[in-house]
Structure 1
Amino acid sequence: MGTDGQRERFRSKLDQVKQILKGVSHRDTYKNLPSCDVVLIGHQHHFSFLWKEKLYSPILESHVRWERRQGLKCELILKPYSDINGSRSNTNFYRYNRIALFFKVIEKIESGLSRKTRIHDRLVERFWSKLFESSSAKRIAAIQPDKYMCRAARNFDIEIIDLQHGVICQAHPWYGKSFNKSKAASDLPTSFFVWDQESKNVVESWAKDKGCSVTVYGNQWVSRFLNEDCDDAVVVDALKKFPNVDSNSPVVLVSLQWGLENYLNADDYDGAIMTLFKRLVERYHRKYVFLVRLHPVQLYGSRWELAKKSLEDLSSRVNANRFDWLDSSYAALPAILSKTDVHLTFSSTVVKEAAQFNVPSAILDQDIRLGGRRSSYYEDLKEAGIVTVIEPFLDEVVKWIDDQLASKNKEVL
């Protein structure tokens, strides 16, 4: 584990350097940000859907759509170090890669000084203050806004919202009570927009005392599919596209994650997919159809190269119409879930979206079991029986799949 861990840390550092160099090769455009009602701040990793051969961000674009229904104009800023070309995206955006690198250099210099200064903090806070003021925005919406964004927005009495994009539970370092009890209210968003009541309960357990509001706003991307609108061209097109696989067999969706080298041995995880999942696909692709979906982070950089190599190799050993990973990774998740029978993952938040489509999920992370270090993950879904933690053994996984399919067949009868 030591050697594997060192190799992974080196690769991670190298990835960061490469991404910074790619990002700063694009000029900053934040000074061109026009006046608007809402400034939306996200990351290029949120661009995970391919629509009309261009990248589209389900979470960010769905929020833009939500704001527009209220008559508000949105502008998007991408966090460092985005390298998406405008021609590759369906969305207009602004970036601040170069000045962010300057801030990072100042921070690094400060960390080596014997006397503590706050030059970096003041510079970053001033950057956001000027940007928010020049935009005349009434609201800032961001994925996990940092303390500098929050301070700047609060200084101008602008609402700043944290938009949920993944799991929220007490064990999560961004949302758990124990991680936030000592934070100053000025360093926090004024509002949290969450997907469900369970998430609201977690955040409200500490945020209410700090003057932050918590609103159940729903998963807007999923809602667009559950409440299909014939005028929503993105959804209409997404539902027409489905991986070219056998439609007469049960469909098993496997949601992948990045960073599992921190939890699993090299023998159990190749940097892209768990060995167990590969064995499952190889042995049972004649019985089930497998759709393997990459995590959005795996669509970029060396994570993409690792995943591509691993899954192309797996694809070469199974029947083409019984396995897909590329189309499944760029398709709309709700469209995939609408035709999925069961879902497998180590611990992905996709279990929450799957539950909305009544698709049962099996989690292999044993720490999510009752009494485990991450047992607060998906508590409501585990109690409802739509999510189950199972042992990470091939026979156990196959038995769980068969049990779920048998149960579904009984319901149909």
Structure 2
Amino acid sequence: MFFNKFKKNILIRIHNYKAFKNVDVLLTHQDADCALKIKDKAYPPHIGALIDELKKRNLTYIVINGPSAKIYGDNHYFNAYEFNFSLLLTRTLSFLLDKINLSYLGDKIKSLPWRLILKRLQPKVIIGIQPHPGLCIASRNLNIDVYDYQHGVIDKKHWWYGGKCKTLPINWLPTGYLCWDQNSANALLELRNYSDSSCTVIGNLWVNSFKKNENNPLKNEFRTNLNFDKNKKNVLVSLQWGLEEYYPDSDFWVMPDTLKNIIKSRVSDTNWFIRLHPKQVYCDHAEASKTLEYLQKEFGSLSNVEWSKSTELPLPILLDYIDLHITDMSSVVIEAAMYGIRSAIMNPCCSTGNLTNLYEYESSKGFIDKVGHDKNKIEEFLNKNKIKNISSSNEENKNLKDFFKNYE
């Protein structure tokens, strides 16, 4: 049985490889980026926004998900390909080689599947969401530009961009970065491993596709009436996964008791929209079922608390309804500011710890209140209102046009 399954996997991948044709752009992402469901298919918002731009310019593309992809083929809105077996095999071999100080051979093994794929596809450019190190190695060897497109916060204190990446060899990293704003680009340029990489500010294409285009077809796809009292204030609560690192005394963390009790007490004047992180929904984490159990137990009886539609809706559509935003430290802070929405950040490290400079730009514009778990500060925040939103600049639009001109 194992041999038959092994043989089937190999044949499927050979078939995928042989079916490849030359494309202008290779797009890549991971399961966690598929934050939406459209027509019962998983939809990656930021990749989808990039594809809209490619279509405008008649640029051809292909999407490859991975490594360890569970969302591909008919389950994926853009019929993404996967090469799980090849990537797992080469990752294991390269890991073993790295352990015996043969990293130069490890790099060759790690990049082998990608090198074969790139030689077959002959893309002019690669754009991904945190593209795989093996893909970066292969693209650099073949002199193909590979870009990481921003999908959340980029900051000097971020665990990936400001942490782990600083220890990686430069050839494991992309040749360039496509950022939402200049502040994110500046943060990258200040970090050692990004000094040789280009940073281009093209804006948040996903948010801009809703703000600038009233005829966006996805608006009709998701246009729905959230059941809430329009005379109340609408507050979005963005959840995150894996926060136990910051709360070691807790085996499982959703939100502080302070916020939980405030939500329960503010029934008459507030509608609460709780939004789960994509990894709590689409990646089969045990945390997902625990989170849903927690929400049902604590808020299931409250008619002014909602989390199903709040999670299913595209964030830009939901933000049209929202007055205020509360989170531990989710990057939804950035998108909320684009809609003129203030955010309350509850993580104590953002007030007095090693994350005090997180969201510096949004803070400088008055969009951030650092409330910790203080009941009075949260209550005071809930009395505030929207302020003028951060809009995309003409420079971002020009940068976007100039960027794609290089590959048309």
Measured in 2, the distance between the counterparts of 1:172 and 1:164 equals: 13
Preserved contact between residue 257 and residue 295 of structure 1 (Cα < 8 Å): yes
* SS in structure 1 at match of 2:160: coil
Equivalent position of 2:21 in the other structure: 34
Is 1:262 aligned with 2:245?
Answer: yes
Preserved contact between residue 371 and residue 378 of structure 2 (Cα < 8 Å): yes
Equivalent position of 2:3 in the other structure: none
Task: Tell me by how many angstroms 1:395 deviates.
Answer: 3.1
* SS in structure 1 at match of 2:123: coil
* SS in structure 1 at match of 2:161: coil
Task: Tell me by how many angstroms 1:363 deviates.
Answer: 0.1
- Deviation digits for residues 281-302 of structure 1 (CA, Å, limit 9, x no counterpart): 2221332100000011101312
Preserved contact between residue 180 and residue 206 of structure 1 (Cα < 8 Å): no
Report % sequence identity. Answer: 26
* SS in structure 1 at match of 2:247: coil
Is 1:221 aligned with 2:173?
Answer: no
Preserved contact between residue 271 and residue 306 of structure 1 (Cα < 8 Å): no
Equivalent position of 1:233 in the other structure: 217
Preserved contact between residue 72 and residue 81 of structure 2 (Cα < 8 Å): no
Task: Tell me by how many angstroms 1:142 deviates.
Answer: 1.0
Preserved contact between residue 329 and residue 346 of structure 2 (Cα < 8 Å): yes
Is 1:249 aligned with 2:235?
Answer: no
Measured in 1, the distance between the counterparts of 2:108 and 2:234 equals: 53
- Deviation digits for residues 180-227 of structure 1 (CA, Å, limit 9, x no counterpart): 667654333222100001111112235798442111111111001110
Equivalent position of 2:128 in the other structure: 142
Measured in 2, the distance between the counterparts of 1:294 and 1:340 equals: 16
- Structural RMSD (CA): 2.7
Preserved contact between residue 272 and residue 303 of structure 1 (Cα < 8 Å): no
* SS in structure 2 at match of 1:289: strand
Letter in 2 for 1:245: F
Is 1:282 aligned with 2:269?
Answer: no
* SS in structure 2 at match of 1:397: helix
Preserved contact between residue 76 and residue 94 of structure 1 (Cα < 8 Å): yes
Preserved contact between residue 94 and residue 109 of structure 2 (Cα < 8 Å): no
**TM-score normalised by L of structure 1:** 0.83
Letter in 2 for 1:250: K
Q: 2:59 aligns with which of 64, 72, 76?
A: 72
Equivalent position of 1:8 in the other structure: none
Q: Which stretch of structure 1 is more off in the superposition, 299-308 or 343-352?
A: 299-308
Is 1:200 aligned with 2:185?
Answer: yes
Preserved contact between residue 79 and residue 95 of structure 1 (Cα < 8 Å): yes
Letter in 1 for 2:355: R
- Deviation digits for residues 353-396 of structure 1 (CA, Å, limit 9, x no counterpart): 00000000000112223x63012210011111111111312332
Measured in 2, the distance between the counterparts of 1:263 and 1:372 equals: 11
Task: Tell me by how many angstroms 1:255 deviates.
Answer: 0.1
Measured in 2, the distance between the counterparts of 1:34 and 1:127 equals: 16
Report matched runs for 1:166-181 at 5 Å.
166-176=152-162
Change (3 A) 1:272 1:206: closer
Change (3 A) 1:129 1:170: same
Letter in 1 for 2:189: E
**TM-score normalised by L of structure 2:** 0.84
Task: Tell me by how many angstroms 1:93 deviates.
Answer: 0.5
Change (3 A) 1:150 1:323: same
* SS in structure 2 at match of 1:175: helix
Task: Tell me by how many angstroms 1:149 deviates.
Answer: 1.6
Preserved contact between residue 68 and residue 84 of structure 2 (Cα < 8 Å): yes
Equivalent position of 2:366 in the other structure: 385
Measured in 1, the distance between the counterparts of 2:10 and 2:305 equals: 38
Preserved contact between residue 65 and residue 72 of structure 2 (Cα < 8 Å): no
Equivalent position of 1:106 in the other structure: 93
Measured in 2, the distance between the counterparts of 1:272 and 1:122 equals: 42
- Deviation digits for residues 94-121 of structure 1 (CA, Å, limit 9, x no counterpart): 00111222124324544665x6465432
Equivalent residue pairs, number: 375
Letter in 1 for 2:299: S
Preserved contact between residue 280 and residue 287 of structure 2 (Cα < 8 Å): yes
Measured in 2, the distance between the counterparts of 1:394 and 1:25 equals: 57
Equivalent position of 1:94 in the other structure: 81
Equivalent position of 1:7 in the other structure: none
Measured in 2, the distance between the counterparts of 1:228 and 1:200 equals: 26
Change (3 A) 1:195 1:394: same
Letter in 1 for 2:369: T
